[in-house]
Structure 1
Amino acid sequence: MPAAGSQRRGAARWTMLAAGLAATPAAAQNLPPDESIRFSRYTAVRERQIPGYEQAGIPVGGFTLTPSLDANVNATDNVFALEDDRVSDAFLRLQPSARLSSNWAGRSLDISADAAIDRYARQSTENVNALNLSANAVQQFAGTLKLRLLGRFRANRESRESQNAFALTVRPVAFRETTGAVGLSRRFGPIQLAGEAGYQRLNFDNAQLRSGGILDQNYRDGGITSFRGRADLVQSTALAYFVQATNTDSSYSQLSSAGVRRGANTTEVLAGARFELPILARGEIGVGYITSGYRDQQFRRFSGLAVNSRVTFFPTQLTTVTVNALRSVNDAGTPNSSTYVSLIGGVQVDHELLRSVIIGANLQYQRDSFNGVDRQDRRFSVGASAEYRLNRLLSVRASFDRLDLTSNGAARYKSFTRNRALVGLGVRI
């Protein structure tokens, strides 16, 4: 039987489909969370393993292979994310994946390969062949010393809904992302210390404009180096306090078409607590300070409040409510700005209607304020989903989500709405 983490990754993939998340280069959060300090009194709806519905996997020596295939038919009423002249279409998305997980004691190796193949009924320029390869390794040494390693490669096309997609190109902009990271952690009685270092390389292809000419994207090629240190003080089996500091440095070799030298050095310090309360709640709340300086002197240094929190409530054994809040600084892909400050808040509700039926609903609000230009974007998304597990191998799913984007300011982005519906079949072995 695969580890619970594998089950959670599968559930998370379905959740992302329901929320309609756009394909964009990932931020420099590299290693998966260290679960040395883990609270597990409660089990979320999508974490629960119901007897008779587990993904068994295929034994391969000292590993377990868990292949899967999702086939989803999607319909959208705004393919190009346009303010006017909306175009509707339907597309088939095939998502084959395979994970090879070790069954070793004291160490683990997880290798995964995922693909997303989109084929549109009419707008063939939107067809996508996306690939994601990753390998995670954990080595437990004598005592409590733990080493974690990550390698990842991703090739995809940027979503038409991305805040960087100003110009209408013949095809969405293609990019590649390569990431490597290493982490060490050790427990000293009630104190756990952890450190991480990672490097991410981004490469974007130029794209052809529909109006003619080439959209230069070489200024977006660059590297992001990140370092993180964290200390946890475990007070009990249900409460731990932490302090965490992260430094991220981005560098891009070319000036943008607007003559801007992009790149920033950002430091974030958070303090807070991880908890699992007897009032049926589990999560982590971190609040602190973030400051960001820029390579181009025309941008003023930013400083302000940092928030990174996620709390899950368990009002009943059949219902899970997850609330998240995030305030962060992110690199902008636009030629006239270096970064944007993002404020995100959202809630996800999952309910086990029947033993084999899970329904869910989510909403999220996001406000992006861009550095150096008069522009502020507001995104509001809402969605609902239902999944029916026919048996251990098969499940069917339906979902609907809506995105409303409003942009203001002299350098405003396009404002638009988009509705999308999905019906799909999942096969797990």
Structure 2
Amino acid sequence: MKRNATWAAGALLAGLFTGLGSGTSEAQTVDENLITPNLPLEFDRGRNVGVLQRERPEYQAVGVRLLNFTFYPRVEAGIGYTDNAYQISGGSVSDGFVTISPSVTASSNWAVNQLTLDATYRAKRFFSETPRNEDNYSVGANGRLDVTRSFTLDTQLRTARNTEPRASAASPQDAAEAVQYRQTSGGIGATFSGAKVRGQVNANFDRLSFDDVRTFAGGTLDQNNRDQTVLRVTGRGEFAISPDTSLFAQVGHTDTQYDQPLAFRVPNRDSKEINLLGGATFDLSALIRGAVGVGYVDRRYNAPIYRDLSGFATEAKIEYFPSQLTTLGVTVRRTVQDSYFFNSSGYFATAGAVRVDHELLRNLLLNAQVAYEVDDFTENAGSIKIFRVSGGGRYLLSRRFGFGFVIGHDKRSGTGDIATNTFNETRALISVIVQR
């Protein structure tokens, strides 16, 4: 046990000094931003099991045991098609592409404490439109040190190279190439759990660095003024009013600092933000589970040329179980984000999504999702609307082999001064999965 504690403590210290942290999901949905909440809402009390969470021992990878770890290697390769490779409003070009994504995860087998390591590489290659090629990777570590039965320390460590979604309101619309950025993150948190109370505190940072990209006009777009460091501290207290329901209150502080001015003699959008959230988490037997939080966000910019933003904020996720074979999920989020446009300091991003997962057969899992986001910019600059619909599934052939498929459609539209690059895109992907 002493050796295990040493490993876990080492992971925690590595998180403080190496700066690898929990990054954003590689395949972002409409309600995901570059900087995700550093203290996600938790509501699982073991009373309900979603379709994707259900154990399927006959189809699950067994891994390879080595010393005190189990390694799970995996490779996913696919071929796809898009009818708008550059995701632009006029002169759309269709093209095919291939993807390959090898990955490995290693999890400790200790009785107490836990350490998980993972590494992923994902390449996307278009047949003709090579400026849209992508090279993404992610290397991370998560450690948990069980100090006592009721007190734990956690760390999240990650470095990654990601691609910014073209539909994002913050993405430069004159970029001909895929907009890629490097993200280095790290965080440490503490959790205390009592009979009816639970307390959490988390401190982390995100370092974002954007690559320069070529424009449709043939020039180079310098994105150094988007490079930034974000420091956040969040605390949450929770009180159980019954075995299946708790009330919580949360407060967070965010400090955003940009490396360079926005332009010559134009200061950048350095800011400080306070976020207050209160609500409930619940897990009702055989029916519904989720978390709903509502509150207030206030972001104040250091430079007086930018208008401060404040208003209603929310984060919610609810799962409904009409049967053991179907899970219906609803997510809602309203946050403040910095604008990319010169005539606006920032915008409120309000997003919602509905997803259905269904187990048609024991080894055939289907899903469908509809998502919608409205980004309202300050100074009456206008708004951007993003609509996304998709459907797909996974066919589990055996423990080692599986197939996946997805087809989706995105639509981006805008109003006002920032109404640029309205586009539609339909895409499809078929993939094969090999795992151990």
On whether the aligned pair clears a TM of 0.5, the verdict is yes
Q: Given the alignment of the two structures, is residue 307 of structure 1 paired with residue 314 of structure 2, yes or no?
A: yes
SS where residue 41 of structure 1 aligns? Answer: coil
Please tell me the residue identity of whatever aligns with 1:361. Answer: A
Distance 1:31 1:261 in 2: 27
Q: Given the alignment of the two structures, is residue 416 of structure 1 paired with residue 432 of structure 2, yes or no?
A: no
Please tell me the residue identity of whatever aligns with 1:103. Answer: N
Distance 2:174 2:366 in 1: 36
1:260 Cα deviation after fit? 4.4
SS where residue 219 of structure 1 aligns? Answer: helix
Provide the residue aligned with 2:274 in structure 1. Answer: 267
Distance 1:174 1:51 in 2: 38
Provide the residue aligned with 1:113 in structure 2. Answer: 119
Q: Greater RCO between the two (CA within 8 Å, min separation 6)?
A: 2
Written as runs of structure 1 = structure 2, the 5 A alignment for 1:245-260 is 245-257=251-263, 259-260=266-267
Please tell me the residue identity of whatever aligns with 2:383. Answer: Q
Provide the residue aligned with 1:181 in structure 2. Answer: 187
Assess if the C-alpha contact under 8 Å between 2:31 and 2:351 holds in 1. no
Instruction: Please give the per-residue CA displacement for 1:376-397, whole angstroms capped at 9, x wherever unaligned.
Output: 0011111111221111111112
Please tell me the residue identity of whatever aligns with 2:228. Answer: G
Distance 1:260 1:376, change over 3 A: farther
Please tell me the residue identity of whatever aligns with 2:293. Answer: G
Provide the residue aligned with 1:152 in structure 2. Answer: 158
Provide the residue aligned with 1:280 in structure 2. Answer: 287
Distance 1:347 1:355 in 2: 23
Q: Given the alignment of the two structures, is residue 381 of structure 1 paired with residue 376 of structure 2, yes or no?
A: no
- Structure 2: runs of 5 or more not aligned: 1-24
Moved over 6 A (4+): 22-25
Q: Given the alignment of the two structures, is residue 324 of structure 1 paired with residue 321 of structure 2, yes or no?
A: no
1:215 Cα deviation after fit? 1.2
Distance 1:278 1:321 in 2: 15
SS where residue 46 of structure 1 aligns? Answer: coil
- The structure 2 residue matched to 1:392, chosen from 394, 399, 404, is 399
Provide the residue aligned with 1:292 in structure 2. Answer: 299
Percentage of matched positions with identical amino acids? 30
Provide the residue aligned with 1:218 in structure 2. Answer: 224
Distance 1:23 1:64 in 2: 33
Provide the residue aligned with 2:167 in structure 1. Answer: 161
Q: Given the alignment of the two structures, is residue 63 of structure 1 paired with residue 69 of structure 2, yes or no?
A: yes
Assess if the C-alpha contact under 8 Å between 2:31 and 2:373 holds in 1. no
Distance 1:373 1:335, change over 3 A: same
CA RMSD of aligned residues (A): 2.1
Please tell me the residue identity of whatever aligns with 2:160. Answer: R
- Structure 1: runs of 5 or more not aligned: 1-14
Assess if the C-alpha contact under 8 Å between 1:242 and 1:271 holds in 2. yes
Distance 1:257 1:16 in 2: 30
Assess if the C-alpha contact under 8 Å between 1:54 and 1:392 holds in 2. yes
- The structure 2 residue matched to 1:126, chosen from 113, 116, 132, is 132
Instruction: Please give the per-residue CA displacement for 1:338-381, whole angstroms capped at 9, x wherever unaligned.
Output: 32211011100011111111111110010011234612001111
Assess if the C-alpha contact under 8 Å between 2:99 and 2:123 holds in 1. yes
Provide the residue aligned with 2:35 in structure 1. Answer: 27
Distance 1:296 1:311 in 2: 39
1:31 Cα deviation after fit? 6.0
SS where residue 52 of structure 2 aligns? Answer: helix
SS where residue 243 of structure 1 aligns? Answer: strand
Distance 1:57 1:154 in 2: 24
Please tell me the residue identity of whatever aligns with 1:377. Answer: I
Provide the residue aligned with 2:375 in structure 1. Answer: 368
Q: Given the alignment of the two structures, is residue 407 of structure 1 paired with residue 414 of structure 2, yes or no?
A: yes
Q: Given the alignment of the two structures, is residue 347 of structure 1 paired with residue 354 of structure 2, yes or no?
A: yes
Instruction: Please give the per-residue CA displacement for 1:244-299, whole angstroms capped at 9, x wherever unaligned.
Output: 11111111132213834212212111111110124600110111111111122122
Provide the residue aligned with 2:213 in structure 1. Answer: 207
Assess if the C-alpha contact under 8 Å between 1:24 and 1:162 holds in 2. no
TM-score, with structure 1 as normaliser: 0.91
Assess if the C-alpha contact under 8 Å between 2:341 and 2:418 holds in 1. no
Distance 1:62 1:307 in 2: 41
Distance 1:373 1:257, change over 3 A: farther
Is 370-379 or 114-123 further displaced after alignment? 370-379
1:51 Cα deviation after fit? 3.1
- The structure 2 residue matched to 1:78, chosen from 76, 79, 84, is 84
